[in-house]
Amino acid sequence: MIQGRQKYNVFPTLKKYDEKTVRAFNDPAKMAKKFGSKKPYHDSYTDLPLTQLSIAYMNEQEDFIADRIAPAVQVNQRAGEIYEYGKELLRLDYTHRDVGGEYNEVRVEPSKSSFYYLKDRGLDAPVYMEDVEQAEDPLEPRQDVAEFLTQKMLLDREYTLASQMTQSNLGGKTLTGDHRWNQSNSDSTPFEDIQEGIDDVKDKSGKTPNILVLSRDTMSALRNHPQVIDRIKYTGIPTDDTVREAIRDAFGLDDVIEGKTQAHDGATGFNNVWHNKAILLYRERQPRLKSVSLAKTIEWNGWINVQTFEAMNTMEGFKRKIDSIIRVEHMLDQVIMDSDCGYVIEGTWINA
């Protein structure tokens, strides 16, 4: 990341906006010939205050749970192979040494799990001169735009991970009819379904799932389910907190996470990103690149960057009355490390 305010003088300030210049602006070759650069902005720099604001804003958004499922691991290479110590860690080896003998030697060889490639993700948005002129603090419009873009980046991060957490990718089961969790009958057995998923992950990976992710509609179904109500009837009323606590204690989980994030698809309206499912997974408590987990977010040294491009003295800024362009960018890859460490229960809600 560039430290401090580092300027790039792309071309001199335009003092005269004639018709010929306006026409030339749409032709990069002509602009390069006239002003010595193909870049349309006069002054660009890494905006450290806005970068810090963006990071703080990300940390405050509790509804986004992607990093709690696929914790971040930082790297300093854009692409690479991921190695991990897998099931060989659970193999029994002979450790007894006879008198005069030697210790048994074992080979420490991490296995190749997958590859990562850090994708450059980002969004631009303009800050208009009218907004700056009307603001009490001239920096406020830039802060608003930085938070707006950060929100959209977080949403993309959430949706991208949720799209990978499917039964076809991880294994699991699909509930139908009276087996769905918002049905109050003897065939609807969420605790048995969860236990089945825990046993499946243990059998395949040797790891015991420690995280359960519930979509918003799945949580609503469990809050009113007889199995849950029976477990908390002497300790409290069925709220999201008591439901999470009851399930966490029943199965010895580290956390029960509710996926509340909503996304608008432009056609059917708002939908829950984690819609109609429950996900059991094993997550390393102290994630490292060479450790077993369902998923990790590989990041370029935790790199998130907010760039400010000064546009008010450029032809583009003049034509559109743009004060500046704000860019939020991030380089990462969300990788399924070991699909055996996950189990998806789909169809938990009958109105899917």
* 303's tokens: 């790199």
Give the residue from 204, 209, 213 showing the smallest Cα distance to 251.
Answer: 209
- Fill in the amino acid letter for 187: D
* 93's tokens: 């080896």
The 10s digit of each residue's pLDDT in 308-337 is 888 888 888 888 899 999 999 989 999 998
Query: How many helices (DSSP H) and strands (DSSP E) are in the chain?
Result: 12, 14
231 Cα distance to chain centroid = 33
State the pLDDT at residue 143. 87
What separation in angstroms does the CA of 49 have from each of 46, 139, 143? Answer: 9, 10, 9
Pairing of strands 295-310, 72-75: parallel
242 Cα distance to chain centroid = 26
- Which domains, from first to last, does the chain contain? 43-86+118-346 (3.90.1690.10)
State the pLDDT at residue 302. 65
State the pLDDT at residue 305. 85
The 10s digit of each residue's pLDDT in 90-121 is 566 667 777 877 877 776 666 556 778 898 99
What separation in angstroms does the CA of 202 have from each of 61, 77, 257, 345? Answer: 32, 33, 20, 16
Per-residue pLDDT of the chain (352 residues; tens, 9 = 90+): 333 333 333 333 333 334 444 344 344 444 444 444 434 444 555 666 666 666 665 545 778 999 999 998 888 888 887 766 556 555 666 677 778 778 777 766 665 567 788 989 999 999 999 988 888 886 788 888 988 898 889 899 999 999 999 988 899 999 999 999 999 889 999 999 999 999 999 999 989 999 999 999 999 999 999 999 998 888 778 889 999 999 999 999 999 999 999 888 777 788 889 999 999 999 998 877 777 889 999 998 766 788 888 888 888 888 889 999 999 998 999 999 889 999 999 999 876 4
State the pLDDT at residue 351. 65
195 Cα distance to chain centroid = 27
